Amino acid sequence: MTGEIDWENLSFSYIKTDYNVRCYYRDGKWGKLETSSSETINLHMSATCLHYGQESFEGLKAFKGKDGKTRIFRLDENARRMQNSAKGILMEPVPEEIFTEAVKKAVKLNERFIPPYGTGGTLYIRPLLIGSGPKIGVAPSDEYLFLVFVTPVGPYFKEGFKPTSLLITRKYDRAAPRGTGNIKVGGNYAASLPSGKMAAENGYSAVLYLDSCEKKYIDECGPANFFGIKNSTYITPESSSILPSITNKSLMQLAKDIGLKTERRQIPIDELETFDEAGACGTAAVISPIGRIDDPEENKSYIYSKDGKPGPVCEKLFNKLQAIQYGDETDNHGWITIVE
């Protein structure tokens, strides 16, 4: 199977691997980890994940280093974020030790699917938590399934690490204030599908959302957080509706490491014209430099790349982050877990 994979030309799509890892919450306690080779799950037709949206997921990656070691990036942060998501919709949180053991086991069991060093591919890891118990009334489930599967992937945006274009629209909201925008649940992504389809049909990689209340401030991109660079400062939006990106958090630290100031605050839409560079960041995208943002409703365009190349700060941050993830640079922040 792996002999047929073109490692250097992977898309961001599902490829079958050997095993996934599962754990069930029943009778008030989590069970033991189970290994499965099945790509399907059995669900009761009235499971709460199907009817009332009790579902959360995470995304993280494993990297094969030049030294042959396998590294997982910020495993602990993903475990804690999934716990926060679970609490947000009253699911049973997965203990960090179960999350960690399940992820490491899924990576180890599917080690032959980790793209080789230098190909640009990674092993994408998808932990999933769903309400599996039957309910007819609107109420939390009594049973949950935690599952981890993996698949080799290439870049999320087909452009890779090249400037991409975004579309501003006021027709759609990503998430409401004090809603579920700050936790990683499937409903947020279902709500983004119409706007994402509209953007793609018009030649854009994604939508850049504005705040849902006033339509005055930048919120985030459909699949990623937004950041801008100006005056030697890394600036990213502050909002209760934004998913706290672990990649964004890491980039803010790396920005400080290379001598930049950092700000997390509201960004008025008019401030877009003052940035020297802009980018979208997340586990899947890593950094996708933004070349252009169009706001057709206001007949405005914001240009960040005229030569089709990333800006110098985006490039420096991207290279530094990738170097840590692949083990080419020392991990001074304790972000890496090596799979033995």
The set of residues, in sequence order, having a beta carbon less than 8 Å from that of 90 and lying 6+ positions away, is 54, 140
Helix then strand count (H, E) for the chain reads: 6, 18
> Taking phi first (over 0 means left), then psi (-120 to 50 degrees means alpha), and beta for anything else, what does residue 315 get?
alpha
For the record, the structure tokens of 130 come out as: 């769903």
Of 287, 282, 76, 92, nearest to 189 by C-alpha is 282
The answer to whether 105 is a known catalytic residue is: no
Tell me the one-letter amino acid at 18.
Answer: D
Residue 320 C-alpha from the chain's centroid: 19
Of 230, 229, 225, 275, nearest to 245 by C-alpha is 225
The set of residues, in sequence order, having a beta carbon less than 8 Å from that of 337 and lying 6+ positions away, is 71, 72, 75, 76, 100, 104
Residues in the chain: 340
The set of residues, in sequence order, having a beta carbon less than 8 Å from that of 319 and lying 6+ positions away, is none
Q: Which of 69, 184, 197, 300 is catalytic?
A: 184
Q: Which residues are annotated as catalytic?
A: 184
